[in-house]
């Protein structure tokens, strides 16, 4: 894009809600804890494989705890978002950072999602679907009321922006 209407890639200004750290921590613990629990139960029930199954369960728990201690805080530092009158800006990723812009004229739908864990932490995710082959932009870890307001604002901005979003 060139000229006055160009949308530039720049760091988004807003951090996700601080409660997202707890939400991500719970996801890490569940991702490691549920398979570890299954392996532990199987280890208690299956004598010939007990050592192997219980050992694997312990390794999974250790990995889950290590990931929980490190990644959620890091994700909080790198996940950023912002909405202007021209575009939605999102930066995500821990090891591989992804910066994306969705100009208002390209937005097709705006959705909010609140899974069970998000509800527990009072959070929501706003998904902005565009005409991009890359797929939708997701702004995760927002306060649920802020997410609802953001979806409403994006809907109004999109409606007021000329273009056909294709």
Residue bearing tokens 């988004």: 12
pLDDT attached to residue 30 = 95
Rg (CA), the chain: 20
**Partners of 98 in beta bridges:** 92
Residue-level length of the chain: 166
> CA 56 → CA 30, 44, 61, distances in Å?
16, 13, 9
Give 18's contacts (C-beta < 8 A, 6+ positions apart).
76
> Rounded distance, CA 139 to CA 157, Å?
17
pLDDT attached to residue 127 = 95
pLDDT attached to residue 52 = 94
pLDDT attached to residue 95 = 78
**Residues 96-144: tens digit of each pLDDT:** 888 888 889 889 999 999 999 999 999 999 999 988 778 899 999 999 9
> Rounded distance, CA 110 to CA 108, Å?
7
For residue 97, the number of C-alpha atoms closer than 13 Å in the C-beta half-sphere is: 12
Three-state secondary structure readout of 142-166: EEHHHHHHHHHHHHHHHHHCCCCCC
pLDDT attached to residue 140 = 94
pTM for the structure as a whole: 0.83
pLDDT attached to residue 111 = 95
Residues of the chain with pLDDT under 50: 1
């Amino acid at each position: 894009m060139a000229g006055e209407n160009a949308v530039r890639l720049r760091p988004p200004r807003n951090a996700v809600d601080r409660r997202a750290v707890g939400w991500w921590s719970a996801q890490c613990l569940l991702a490691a804890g549920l398979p570890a629990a299954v392996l532990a139960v199987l280890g208690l029930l299956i004598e010939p494989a007990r050592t192997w199954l219980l050992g694997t369960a312990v390794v999974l728990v250790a990995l889950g705890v290590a990931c929980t201690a490190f990644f959620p805080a890091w994700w909080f530092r790198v996940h950023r978002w912002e909405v202007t009158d021209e575009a939605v800006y999102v930066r995500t990723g821990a090891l591989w950072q992804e910066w994306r812009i969705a100009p208002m004229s390209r937005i097709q739908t705006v959705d909010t999602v609140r899974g069970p864990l998000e509800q527990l932490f009072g959070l929501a995710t706003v998904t902005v679907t565009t005409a991009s082959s890359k797929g939708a932009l997701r702004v995760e870890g927002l306060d649920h009321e802020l997410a609802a307001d953001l979806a409403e604002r994006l809907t109004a901005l999109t409606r007021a922006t000329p273009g056909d979003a294709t």
